[in-house]
Amino acid sequence: MCLKGKVAIVTGSTSGIGLGIAHALAGQGADVLVNGFGDAAAIDGLCQDIAARHGVKVAYSGADMAQPAQIEGMVAQATRELGRVDILVNNAGIQFTAPVHEFPVERWDAIIAINLSAAFHAIRAALPQMRERNWGRIVNIASAHGLVASVNKVAYVAAKHGIVGITKVVALETATSGVTCNAICPGWVLTPLVQKQIDALAERERLTPEEARMRLLGEKQPSKEFATPEQIGALAQFLCSEGAAQIRGASLSVDGGWTAQ
């Protein structure tokens, strides 16, 4: 229980990878502020589940990561309700695909706000108290698309490359302190965000769901297996441990070999 007494914010943790990370950190004893959208009763249920399974305190914020004032409010709420913020996981993210000349300006703005600017706003709100206590962990969920590109994902690829950049700057600015900042770069993980892309592919190419899943993996991920939220959670957990104290500004791939090609 190496995170007992610590408090973690995990943005976008009502689903997918964020939920996996919230469980992994709570599993090491951290109290957790859950954030994200969804059905109120379902969110209430998953917060109770995290609290009961791991014996930790759980708070919930419905802050919209596209709104800087709400992001500041979320950090203030975690500090007020859970006592402090030691760990910040910037995970909330959305996707939209279209060629650059057809990409809706409104989708560009939303993806840059949620997938990129939100991390800046959350870090600037949470970092002062981490610096004060000389301990903190910032984990940014980037993507294989933070390191390489694909067609039709101009906003997502720009935002995720930006996340890798923010990660390096914050790591350098905190390099002589007990605060570290790193990025995790997942390949395909089977979450609602990816299921939408599988459904679109199946419809476009008239494939069965299984054929579409295999086509998606086959194009990018040499292992031909999805990474899992639990695997991403396990790496986030390690980055929060003392063993990772000198991992700084790194972008760590969990991508089945995607970016080794």
The footprint of ligand NAD (CB under 6 A) covers 12-18, 35-38, 64-66, 91-94, 114-115, 141, 143, 186, 188-189, 191-194
Looking from the CA of 174 toward its CB, the CA atoms found within 13 Å total 30
- In whole angstroms, the minimum distance from the beta carbon of 85 to ligand NAD comes to 17
Reading phi first (left if > 0) and then psi (alpha if -120 to 50, else beta), residue 57 is in beta
Output 99 or 192, the one with its CB closest to ligand NAD.
192
142, 167 Cβ separation under 8 angstroms: yes
The token pair that represents 183 in the structure block: 């990025």
Output 108 or 188, the one with its CB closest to ligand NAD.
188
Backbone angles phi, psi at 140, to 5 degrees: -100, 125
- In whole angstroms, the minimum distance from the beta carbon of 261 to ligand NAD comes to 16
Class of residue 90 by CB neighbours under 10 A (exposed 0-12, middle 13-18, buried 19+): buried
* Active-site annotation holds for 156: yes
- In whole angstroms, the minimum distance from the beta carbon of 63 to ligand NAD comes to 6
Instruction: For residue 203, give the H/E element and its range.
Output: helix 192-205
Output 40 or 206, the one with its CB closest to ligand NAD.
40
Among residues 104, 85, 225, 253, the alpha carbon closest in space to that of 164 is found at 253
Provide the 8-state DSSP code for 227: B
Output 132 or 253, the one with its CB closest to ligand NAD.
253
Choosing from 115, 117, 143, 156, the catalytic residue is 156
- In whole angstroms, the minimum distance from the beta carbon of 11 to ligand NAD comes to 6
Active site residues: 156
